[in-house]
Copies of this chain bind each other. A is one copy, B any other.
């Protein structure tokens, strides 16, 4: 009996079953981001359904960000849905003029440390597991604006330390991780707060200790709600504000 058929005992629509089958295959990495999936007609034949049913399943996955389509070329697996580095996603405003800054990234440090609270909680790890700690400074015309510390589970990113520095300075972290480990970023959580600069942060940002700083904690998730990065950012929002849209 055809598992695709809608029956009384299983009223799930056919298009929805197909949609979930495809979603599953994408998440399990049958195709990497950017790769072309089978054309509509093949899928229709394979699963013995109409082309319009395949269309509906695929279009839903396009809406959910799993796929994108190009007329005449095909249907492709989408990569990272967040198109740019989170820190660039926030536009920096100086005063009220929309003077968008071009940020330069500098890698300060990359080492392996033991997991700690609350990173273990956010990254769903045990306290005895290893983490990469990546410290970076984002500057605008020689002025340090943002100091970030990223934590990545060591077991998810083997050999990360052996990649060239440029991996962390030329491309965004998102692109780098997607390209080298096939992990697209599906969504982020963020925690916002205000703190006064401690000694280390003040030194890195070249500001007086005690300055009010915008503090952003971010947790990035890939498929299946799996967290893969915990990041702390300290932004010198003096004279600047951080902009975003809901």
User: Residues of A with Cβ closer than 8 Å to B?
Assistant: 63, 82, 90, 93, 96, 117-118, 121, 187-196, 212-215, 217, 235, 237, 240-246
5 of the cross-chain contacts (CB-CB < 8 Å) are A63-B63, A189-B243, A191-B241, A192-B192, A192-B244
The reply to whether B188 and A217 contact each other, CB–CB distance below 8 Å, is: no
In-complex Cβ contact of A212 among B191, B213, B217, B245 (8 A): B213
Chain B positions within 8 Å of A82 at CB level: 246
The reply to whether B63 and A242 contact each other, CB–CB distance below 8 Å, is: no
The reply to whether B246 and A190 contact each other, CB–CB distance below 8 Å, is: yes
Q: How far is the CB of A48 from chain B (nearest CB, A)?
A: 22
Nearest neighbor of A242 in chain B, beta-carbon distance: B192
Q: How far is the CB of A189 from chain B (nearest CB, A)?
A: 5
In-complex Cβ contact of A195 among B190, B191, B212, B215 (8 A): B212
Chain B positions within 8 Å of A240 at CB level: 193
Q: How far is the CB of A168 from chain B (nearest CB, A)?
A: 22
Nearest neighbor of A187 in chain B, beta-carbon distance: B246
Q: How far is the CB of A17 from chain B (nearest CB, A)?
A: 19
The reply to whether A242 and B191 contact each other, CB–CB distance below 8 Å, is: yes
**Max count, chain B CB within 10 A of own CB: residue among A82, A193, A215, A240:** A193
Chain B positions within 8 Å of A196 at CB level: 212
The reply to whether B191 and A214 contact each other, CB–CB distance below 8 Å, is: no
